[in-house]
Structure 1
Amino acid sequence: MRTSGNTIFIPGATSGIGLGLALRLHDAGNRVIIGGRRTELMKQIADDHPGLETVRIDTADAADVVRASADVQQRFPETNVIIAMAGIMRSEDLSDPSFLDTAVAEVETNILGPLRLLAAFTEFLRNQPDATIITVSSGLAFTPMAGTATYSATKAAIHSFTDSLRLQLADKGIGVLELVPPAVQTDLMPGQADADWAMPLDEFLDEVMALLPTATREILVERVKPLRFSAQQGNYDDLMAALAHQVG
C-alpha cells in the first residue's frame, strides 16, 4: 500500500489506535476521513487537526452504514482506502447467562459492522486506483483470552473472513491487508491505557507506518508475533493460560 496520496475512510477513528493511525496517515500526506458516532468529539478532532474530514457513522446500525457510505462516496469520490477500525471489547463470565448481552453487542460491532462497511464499499473500490481494504483483527484472534471470549472469537472471524476476501478480490484490483494489533495502551479495556503489559501507542504506530509500504497480507508488529504464532511455536496452551490472568 502506498502511504501518501490516498483518500482514506476510517470508521472508528475517534480514539485509540484508530485516531492515532488517522493522524499519522494525515501527516503522511493523505486525505483522511474519520468516522464515529460522537459528532462533538469529531468536530473537536477536526478543529485540532485542520484538513481532517469527518462523517457520522454507527457501524452497528445497518441503515446508517448505507447512509454514511453513500455520503463518503459522494463527498469524497477519490476514496480508495477503507480501514474497518471500529470495535468493542468487554470482559465476560461465561458461567453467567447474562454474558449473552455482551456477546451480541460485540458480534454486532466487531463482525457485522466491518461486513456491512465492506458490502457498501467493495463495488465502489473496484473503480479506484490503488484501492486497499484494511481489516483489523487482534493477536487474540490467534491466541484467545478466556476473559474476553467473544471479543477473541470475533477477531478470529475477521481474520478468517479477511483471508477469503483477499482471495476473492485478488483479480478485482483491490488489495486486502489485515492489521493485527497486540494489546496497545488505549482505553479499549479499563486500565489498559497505563498497563505495562500493553504496547505504547506511539511505538505501535511507528512500527505500523514502517510496515505499511511493503505489507502484502498481515501487518504484524514484533509485540504481536508471540500471539500470532503460538500454535506453530508450541506454547499456545501456556500462553492462553497466562492471558487468562491478565484481564477479567
Structure 2
Amino acid sequence: MDLSNRTVFIAGGTSGIGRELARHLTAAGSTVAVGGRSAGDGEFALDVTDGESVEAARDAVLARFPDLDTVVTMSGVMLLEDLRDPAHFEAAQRTIDTNLTGTIRLIDAFTPHLVGRGAGTIVTVTSGIAFLPFPPMPTYAASKAAVHAYSEALRAQLDGTGVDVVELVPPAVASAGQEKVNPRAVPVHDYVTDVVKLLSQEPTPKEVLVEQVLMHRWAERDGTYDELVAQRAQALSMLPSRRA
C-alpha cells in the first residue's frame, strides 16, 4: 500500500495506537482525519456505540474529505471481568457494543462510499488475544475473535469491488495502561513503526502481524495453545475477587 497519498479516517484515533498511527501516516504523506469520544479541535466527535453519532461523523468526514479512501476501525475497550459474578455482564455488553457492533456500524457507514469510488481500504483492528485468549478479559477476546471472522467474511464479500480489507493484529502495546498490566508490552511508537513498514509492502498483507504477536496468532498451529492459555490464566489473580 502506498502511504504517501492516502486519505485516511481513523475512528479511535484520538489516543493510543490510533493517535500514533495518525502521526506516522501524516509523516508518510497521507491526509489523516481522526475521530473519537474525546475529540479535540479539528477532530471528529464519534461514539461507535451510537448509530446516529456514526452517521453524523461519516457525513462530516466525507464533506471535508470527499476523496477518502481508507477507514481504520480503531475504537475499542479492554475490560476485566470476573465470570463468577453476574455483574460482569455490564462490562461484557459494553465490550461487545464497542468492539464488535461498533466496528460493524462504522464499516456499514463507509462501505457504500468506498465501493462507489471503486477503490479503497478498510483496516479492521483485532488483537493477539483474538487468537490466544487472556482469561481476565474474556469478552474482549471473544469480541476480537468475532471481528477477525467478520473481517474474513467482509474481505470475501468485497472481492472484486476494488476495496481491500486489512486486519491489524496488535500484541500487548504500551498504551491505555497496558504497560502497567504487562511489562513486556511493546512501546506504542515502536509498534506503529513496524505496522507502517508492513502496510507499505506490496502486496499489502491481509493480516498485519508484527513479530511480537506471532506466538499468539499461530499458537494452535504450533501446538502451544493449551500451554500458553494455562500460563495466561495465572493472571486471573488480577481480578479483585481472586486476590488473597
TM-score (ref. length: structure 2): 0.92
Amino acid at match of 1:105: R
- Partner Cα separation in structure 1 for residue 146 and residue 120 of structure 2: 23
Secondary structure at 1:3's aligned position in 2? coil
Secondary structure at 1:245's aligned position in 2? helix
1:81 to 2:108 alignment: no
* Partner deviation per Cα, 1:24-56 (whole Å, 9 max, x = no partner): 0011111100101123xx22xxxxxxxxx5211
- Partner Cα separation in structure 2 for residue 190 and residue 100 of structure 1: 26
Which contiguous aligned blocks of 4+ residues in structure 1 show a shift greater than 6 angstroms? none
* Partner deviation per Cα, 1:148-197 (whole Å, 9 max, x = no partner): 000000000000000000011011110100000000001154824xx422
Are the counterparts in 1 of residues 135 and 235 from structure 2 also a CA contact under 8 Å? no
Residue in 1 that maps onto 2:217? 228
- Partner Cα separation in structure 2 for residue 166 and residue 188 of structure 1: 32
Are the counterparts in 1 of residues 119 and 161 from structure 2 also a CA contact under 8 Å? no
Residue in 1 that maps onto 2:84? 95
Q: 1:210 to 1:190 in 2, by over 3 A?
A: closer
Residue in 2 that maps onto 1:139? 128
- Partner Cα separation in structure 2 for residue 245 and residue 221 of structure 1: 25
Q: 1:159 to 1:151 in 2, by over 3 A?
A: same
Of the three residues 159, 170, 173, the one matched with 1:181 is 170
1:208 to 2:195 alignment: yes
Secondary structure at 1:244's aligned position in 2? helix
Are the counterparts in 1 of residues 179 and 185 from structure 2 also a CA contact under 8 Å? no
Residue in 2 that maps onto 1:48? none
Q: 1:191 to 1:66 in 2, by over 3 A?
A: same
**Structure 1: any 5+ residue segments left out of the alignment?**
44-52
Give the CA RMSD over aligned residues: 1.4
Are the counterparts in 2 of residues 140 and 155 from structure 1 also a CA contact under 8 Å? yes
Amino acid at match of 1:102: A
- How far apart are residue 130 of structure 1 and its match? 4.2
Are the counterparts in 2 of residues 133 and 174 from structure 1 also a CA contact under 8 Å? yes
Q: 1:144 to 1:182 in 2, by over 3 A?
A: same
- Partner Cα separation in structure 2 for residue 209 and residue 81 of structure 1: 14
Amino acid at match of 1:223: Q
Are the counterparts in 2 of residues 60 and 108 from structure 1 also a CA contact under 8 Å? yes
Residue in 1 that maps onto 2:18? 18
- How far apart are residue 105 of structure 1 and its match? 0.2
Amino acid at match of 2:191: F
- How far apart are residue 127 of structure 1 and its match? 3.1
Residue in 2 that maps onto 1:59? 48
Residue in 1 that maps onto 2:111? 122
Secondary structure at 2:116's aligned position in 1? coil
Amino acid at match of 2:47: D
- How far apart are residue 216 of structure 1 and its match? 2.8
Q: 1:37 to 1:18 in 2, by over 3 A?
A: same
TM-score (ref. length: structure 1): 0.91
Are the counterparts in 2 of residues 89 and 189 from structure 1 also a CA contact under 8 Å? no
Residue in 2 that maps onto 1:165? 154
**Structure 2: any 5+ residue segments left out of the alignment?**
239-244
- Partner Cα separation in structure 1 for residue 58 and residue 126 of structure 2: 22
- Partner Cα separation in structure 1 for residue 170 and residue 235 of structure 2: 17
* Percent of paired sites with the same residue: 39
